[in-house]
Chains A and B, each alone.
Chain A
Amino acid sequence: MSIVDRLLAIDRRWIFLFVLMAVTIPILLPLGLPVTTTGSTRAAFEYIESLKPGDIVWLSFDYGPSSAPENDPMAEGFLRHCFKKDLRVVVCALYPLGGLSLANSSVAIVAKEFPNKKYGTDYVNLGYKDGAEAVMRRLGENIADAFPTDVHGTPISELPLFEPETVPVERRTIDRVQVKAPGSEVRMGIRTIGQFKVVFTAATGLIGEYWITLVNAQFGTPIIIGPTAVSAPKYYAFINSGQLKGMLGGMKGAAEYEQLLGRKYPELSKFYMETRLFTGTKGMDAQAGIHAVIVLFIFLGNVAFLLARGRERKG
C-alpha cells in the first residue's frame, strides 16, 4: 500500500486520538500563548468602561449546560467587570434547560469574590421566566409584570436596587364611581428595561437575537451579546448596523475579555492566573493546539487527494 493509499484510508480513530492529545496536553501543561483582542470585544469592554458607578445593567443567562464552556467565562467576566465598576446588576435567565442553575452558580461564584457587594442593593437575581419574546415585551412595559418576585420569592418592589418609593395615592373616581381608594402605593424608580444602560446576553440559539430585534429595536436599550462561536458570524451584521455595542464571540471572545480585564485591573489579572475555575484564557492553548492539528490533517488530506488524482490521470 503506497503512502497515498494509507493517507486516504486512515482510520478515523487515529484522528480522534490526535485530537484528544492536542486538547489534553495543553490542559495538563499550559503553554500561556498570547491572546490578541478583536474590535468587537474591545468595543464591548470600552462601552462598560464608559459607564459610571451606580449605573444599572441587565445580565441575561440565555444558555444551558450544553454551551457552558463558552458562555460561563464570558458571563462571569462581565459580572466581575460590573462589580469592579460598581455597577448595579440585575440577573435573569430565559433559557429553559438549565439557564437558572447556571445563573445561580455563576452569581454565587462571583459574589463570593466581591464580599462588599450586597444582594438586593448591588445585584439581584430575578430567576427564570418562560417565554423569551413575551418576557422581553413585558420588560419594556413593566419589569414587575414579567418578574414579580426575585429568585428567592421576595417581591421586587421590596428590593432597594429598583429604587422603590411609597407615594400617596389620591382617591380616583370615574363617573362618580370610586375606582381607586385613597392610600399609598409603592412605585419603583427602575420600572422598565429602557432605563438600563446595557443588556448583556450570554446566549445560545435565538434568544440573543430577540434581545437585539425586540429590546434594542423597540426600547432603544444598548445590547452586548456573548454568543456561542457557532452563532457568532451572524451577529457581525448587527454590529455593522449599529444594533450591537459589542460582541464576545465564543470562548475566544471570553478569553479576549479576560485579557482586557487583566490589563485594566491587575488584581483580576492575578485572579485569572491563579484560579482553578475554568476560564476562557485556559481554553485558548488547547484551541490553538487543536486548530493546528485540524489544519495539518486538512493539508495532508488535500495532498493525498491531489496525489491520488495525479496518479489516476497518469495511469
Chain B
Amino acid sequence: MAALFTLAVLSFLYKDNPIFRLAESLFAGVSLGYFVGITLDQTLKPNLFEPLRTNFNLHWDLVIAGLLGAFLYMRYVPRIGWIARYGLTTYVAYYIGVEFTRKVHGEVLPQMARTILPVRGFDFSGFEAFFASPGMLALCAIVGTYSVLIYFFFSREHNAVTRPIARLGVWFLMVSFGAAFGFTVMGRVALLIGRLNFLIYDWLYPIFGL
C-alpha cells in the first residue's frame, strides 16, 4: 500500500491525474483524522477529561481552561461569534508571555553577547589559516551583523555613509540565503532518497527475492 501510494503521488510529476488526487485526498484525510485522534486521546483526555472525572474538587479550575478552548469554536456561529475573542485573547496573551521570556532569554541576549567579540588572533601563516583564524571570523561576524542591521534600518534614508554599508549587508544576506537554499535542496532531496530507497529495498527487492 505504501509503495503504491508513493507511486500515485509521484505520478503527479508526469501529469495531474485521478490516482494522484485520490492519494492526495486520502493523505489529507488520514493525517487530519490521526491528528484529531491524537488530540482527543493524548491532549484532552489526560489533561482535561480524566482530571475532572477523577478529582473534580482538586481540578475544578480546568473547567475555565476547557471553556476558553471551546469559546474559540463560537466564531462559527455568527450570532455569538464575539465570544471567541475571549478564548483567542487568552491564547495570544499566554503565548506572548511565554515566547517573550523564551526569545529574550534564550535567543536575543546570548546571541547579542556573542557579537561582542575581540578582533584579535589573526594567523598570517597561510591563506586558509588567515581566513580560519579567530580574528578573521570575529571580524566577519561583526561586519556582517552590523551591515545587515544598517540595511534594515529604515527610519532614516540611507546617506553616502550608510548606503555602501547597507549594500555590503545585502551581500551578506544573499550569501546566507544561498546557503539556506542549498540546505533546503539537500533536505528535500534527502526525503526523495528515503522514498526511493524504500521503493527499491523494501518493495521491489523482496518482490524479486533479492
Contact = CB atoms under 8 A, between A and B. Distances in A.
5 A-B pairs closest in CB distance = A69-B194, A213-B106, A229-B187, A217-B106, A251-B190
A283 interface: yes
A252 B190 CA distance: 9
Contact of B190 (A16, A242, A250): A250
Contacts of A68: 194
A210 B180 CA distance: 21
A290 B196 CA distance: 13
A130 B47 contact: yes
10 contacts: A16-B13, A24-B200, A67-B191, A69-B193, A69-B195, A96-B42, A97-B31, A217-B106, A228-B187, A250-B187
A144 interface: no
Interface stretch (A77-85, A191-199, A232-240): A232-240
A27 B105 CA distance: 45
A294 interface: yes
A240 B114 contact: yes
Interface string A278-293: 1000110011001100
A260 interface: no
Contacts of A128: 42
B131 interface: no
Interface in B76-104: 98, 102-103
Contacts of A233: 176, 179-180, 183
The majority secondary structure among interface residues of chain A is helix
B183 A232 contact: yes
A24 B183 CA distance: 21
A161 to B, nearest CB: 23
Interface in A263-277: 276
**Interface size range on A against B:** 35 or more
Interface in A206-248: 210, 212-214, 216-218, 228-230, 232-233, 237-238, 240-243
The majority secondary structure among interface residues of chain B is helix
A271 B107 CA distance: 40
A70 interface: yes
Interface of A: 13, 16, 19-20, 23-24, 27-28, 66-70, 96-98, 128-131, 133, 210, 212-214, 216-218, 228-230, 232-233, 237-238, 240-243, 249-252, 276, 278, 282-283, 286-287, 290-291, 294
B43 A28 contact: no
B162 interface: no
A219 B107 CA distance: 15
Given A213-B103, A237-B111, A241-B111, A27 B42 contact: no
A251 B193 contact: yes
B25 interface: no
Question: Which of B110, B141, B198 has the most chain A CB atoms closer than 10 A to its own CB?
Answer: B110
Nearest to B114: A241
B186 interface: yes
Contacts of A287: 186, 189-190, 193
Contacts of A278: 194, 197-198, 201
Nearest to B108: A213
A179 B188 CA distance: 58
Nearest to B188: A230
Given A97-B38, A240-B114, A212 B106 contact: yes
A233 B39 CA distance: 31
Contacts of B47: 130-131
Contact of A286 (B38, B105, B187, B193): B193
A97 B176 CA distance: 31
Contacts of A216: 106
B35 A97 contact: yes
Question: Which of B34, B38, B106 has the most chain A CB atoms closer than 10 A to its own CB?
Answer: B106
Contacts of A228: 187
Contacts of B102: 133, 210, 213-214, 217
A283 B195 CA distance: 11
B58 interface: no
